[in-house]
């Protein structure tokens, strides 16, 4: 499980600016879950081999310091980002000094018992002495920072990540094909989890953890080992309040990362929403193989079915390689058919191939359709090797590779997909310039 860091502070202190700095490094994934999260933004960050999730609570409307709205704001926060976080970065504005709102927030943060790092932002053009005032907030030495210039961010990160495990030290999930069930609230994830596990013998791994952690359920079916990653938390024992807060973005993001195959559950009765597509897009960006389960199919009349099918054609046309299933988790219809698609997607995600075979397919593709000329010279693609699994990464070596147009990259991707029958998984095609 990746640690979670929440950026907390009143509006305009620079939280979003800091968030962008933290997530900009490498291939940052920012989950655009507008509508699911209202006022929070989630992203992945990495610092010196340590990965974590950052939550930005920016975008919160103006807070009137005169009446009780700060408290409202904080109580809302404490049920969301603060609740999900392991570590808090409390951002203040060194130009403004300590405000009443900062004091209210500080007081709340002191009651949490979580590590809090105080970031004094906007230190550009302010005398260093300005920082001393912030000791009064009671979080020890403030970190001097100018997020918009990237200044001081490294120091802060060093402290924040000091006790985090490095990526190779992370705990391993149990063995088996790991399937994550994800989707918006109420699409039928719990019902599907129960349905999938219905006839199987299940030993629930009630791992110690917070409510934001998914449950990992190992099970066997036809002599294959699986681990269901249950983001809906249905099998968590003794939690009656689960229904209220069982949907968590952090849980969803973690589950996607940990999975081999993601089942994206969509409620056919609600139609395909932007939020569904955002979740799905995030999973694709994370490189996950997936199967789409269009659930509650039982509740539709023929007109509605036709309408949803048209919508599916339109909205999923960018992922023709992903298999779609029309199911009823409630009645069990179509649920068993998910397995062949899950296996196909898994096999594609973990696919293996020799460099010579891959290079041969590359050369066939190049012969059939040459890369373009750049500056009077043709781009040369010489050989290809497999650079990773889940998702498959195909690394192509050649000359002028930084000039390969996106359309040509897509062409190659489609060729590889076709020849190797890679269904259900995104593929990464990367280029390396020969020395």
Q: How far is the CB of 408 from ligand GDP (least distance, A)?
A: 38
Identify the residue among 4, 5, 6, 14 touching ligand GDP (CB under 6 A): 14
In angstroms, give the least distance from the CB of 41 to ligand GDP. 9
Least distance between ligand GDP and beta carbon 301 (Å) = 13
- Pick the closer one to ligand GDP by CB: 280 or 394: 280
Residue whose entry in the numeric block shows the structure tokens 């500080």: 106
Site stretch for ligand GDP (CB under 6 A), options 45-53, 99-107, 140-148, 399-407 = 140-148
- Footprint (CB under 6 A) of ligand GDP, residues 325-384: 328-330
Q: Which of 85, 147 has the CB closer to ligand GDP?
A: 147
Q: How far apart are CA 155 and CA 160, in angstroms?
A: 9
Coil/strand/helix, residue 243 = helix
Give me the least distance between CB of 15 and ligand GDP, in Å please: 3
- Write the CA distances from 242 to 107, 184, 190, 265, integer angstroms: 28, 15, 11, 19
Stretch that binds ligand GDP, among 11-19, 210-218, 306-314, 417-425 (CB under 6 A): 11-19
Distance of CA 75 to the CA centre of its chain: 26
Residues 16-75 that bind ligand GDP (CB under 6 A): 16-17, 58
Residues across the chain: 435
Q: Which of 124/274 has CB closer to ligand GDP?
A: 124
In the numeric block, the tokens 């570590």 are attached to 87
Letters for 301-330 (x = contact with ligand GDP by CB under 6 A, - = none) are ---------------------------xxx
Q: How many CB atoms lie within 10 A of CB 261?
A: 26
281 contacts ligand GDP (rule: CB under 6 A): no
Minimal distance, residue 232 CB to ligand GDP, in Å: 4
* Beta pairing partners, 294: 266, 326
The site for ligand GDP, by CB under 6 A, has a size of 31
Q: Which stretch binds ligand GDP (CB under 6 A): 64-72, 141-149, 406-414, 418-426?
A: 141-149
Contact 425, 320 (CB under 8 A): no
Nearest-approach distance from CB 298 to ligand GDP, in angstroms: 5
Q: How far is the CB of 3 from ligand GDP (least distance, A)?
A: 21
Known binding residues for GTP: 9-16, 56-60, 121-124, 183-190, 230-234, 295-298
Rg (CA), the chain: 24
Comparing CB distances to ligand GDP, the nearer of 126 and 395 is 126
User: Is residue 122 near ligand GDP by the rule CB under 6 A?
Assistant: yes
Nearest distance from C-beta of residue 292 to ligand GDP, angstroms: 14
Closer of 50 and 235 to ligand GDP (Cβ)? 235
211 binds ligand GDP (CB under 6 A): no
CB atoms within 10 A of CB 125: 8
Measured distance CA(215)–CA(206) in Å, rounded: 7
Of residues 145 through 204, those in contact with ligand GDP by CB under 6 A are 146-148, 183, 185-191
Identify whether 233 is preceded by a cis peptide bond (ω within 30 of 0). no
54 and 19 in contact (C-beta within 8 Å)? yes
H/E element, 393: strand 393-399
DSSP notation for 246-311 = ---HHHHHHHHHH-SEEEEEEETTT---HHHHHHHHHHHHTT-EEEEEEE-GGG--HHHHHHHHHH
State the Cα–Cα distance between residues 92 and 95, nearest whole angstrom: 9
The token duo for 128 is: 């260093």
Asked if residue 126 binds ligand GDP (CB under 6 A), the reply is: no
Residue sitting closest to ligand GDP (CB): 58
CB of 131 to ligand GDP, least distance (A): 13
Asked if 77 interacts with ligand GDP (CB under 6 A), we say no
Instruction: DSSP for 86-148, please give it.
Output: SEEEEEEETTT-S-HHHHHHHHHHHTT-S-EEEEEE--TTS-GGGGGGGGGGSSSSPEE-BGG
CA distance 429 to 413: 7
Residues that bind ligand GDP (CB under 6 A): 9, 11-17, 58, 121-122, 124, 146-148, 183, 185-191, 232, 295-296, 298-299, 328-330
């Amino acid at each position: 499980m990746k640690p979670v860091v929440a950026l907390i502070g009143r509006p305009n202190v620079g939280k979003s600016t800091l968030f962008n700095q933290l997530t900009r490094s490498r291939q940052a994934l920012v989950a655009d879950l507008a509508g699911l999260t209202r006022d929070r933004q989630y992203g992945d960050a990495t610092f010196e081999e340590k990965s974590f999730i950052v939550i930005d609570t920016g975008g919160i409307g103006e807070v009137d310091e005169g009446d009780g709205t700060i408290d409202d704001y904080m109580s809302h926060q404490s049920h969301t980002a603060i609740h999900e976080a392991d570590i808090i970065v409390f951002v203040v504005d060194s130009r403004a000094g300590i405000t009443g709102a900062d004091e209210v927030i500080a007081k709340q943060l002191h009651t949490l018992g979580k590590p809090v790092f105080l970031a004094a932002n906007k230190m550009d053009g302010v005398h260093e002495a300005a920082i001393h005032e912030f000791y009064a907030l009671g979080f020890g030495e403030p970190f001097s920072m100018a997020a918009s210039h990237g200044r001081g961010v490294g120091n802060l990160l060093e402290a924040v990540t000091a006790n985090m495990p490095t990526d190779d030290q992370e705990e391993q999930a149990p063995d088996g094909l790991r399937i994550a069930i994800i989707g918006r609230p109420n699409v039928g994830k719990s019902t599907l989890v129960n349905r999938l596990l219905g006839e199987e013998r299940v030993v629930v791994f009630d791992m110690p953890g917070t409510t934001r952690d998914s449950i990992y359920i190992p099970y066997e079916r036809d002599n294959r080992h699986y681990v269901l990653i249950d983001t809906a938390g249905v099998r968590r024992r003794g939690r009656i309040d689960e229904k209220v807060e069982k949907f968590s973005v952090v849980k969803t993001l973690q589950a996607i990362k940990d999975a081999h195959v993601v089942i994206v559950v969509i409620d056919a009765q609600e139609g395909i929403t932007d939020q569904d597509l955002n979740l799905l897009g995030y999973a694709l960006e994370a490189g996950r193989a997936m199967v789409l389960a269009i659930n509650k199919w039982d509740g539709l009349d023929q007109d509605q079915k036709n309408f949803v099918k048209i919508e599916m054609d339109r909205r999923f046309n960018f992922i023709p390689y992903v298999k779609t299933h029309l199911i009823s988790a409630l009645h069990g219809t179509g649920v068993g058919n998910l397995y062949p698609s899950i296996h196909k997607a898994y096999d594609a995600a973990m696919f293996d191939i020799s460099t010579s075979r891959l290079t041969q397919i590359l050369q066939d593709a190049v012969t059939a359709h040459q890369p373009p000329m750049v500056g009077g010279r043709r781009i040369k693609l010489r050989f290809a090797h497999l650079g990773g699994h889940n998702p498959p990464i195909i690394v192509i070596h050649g000359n002028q590779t930084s000039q390969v147009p996106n359309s040509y990259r897509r062409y190659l991707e489609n060729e590889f997909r076709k020849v190797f029958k890679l269904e259900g998984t995104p593929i990464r095609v990367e280029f390396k310039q020969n020395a």
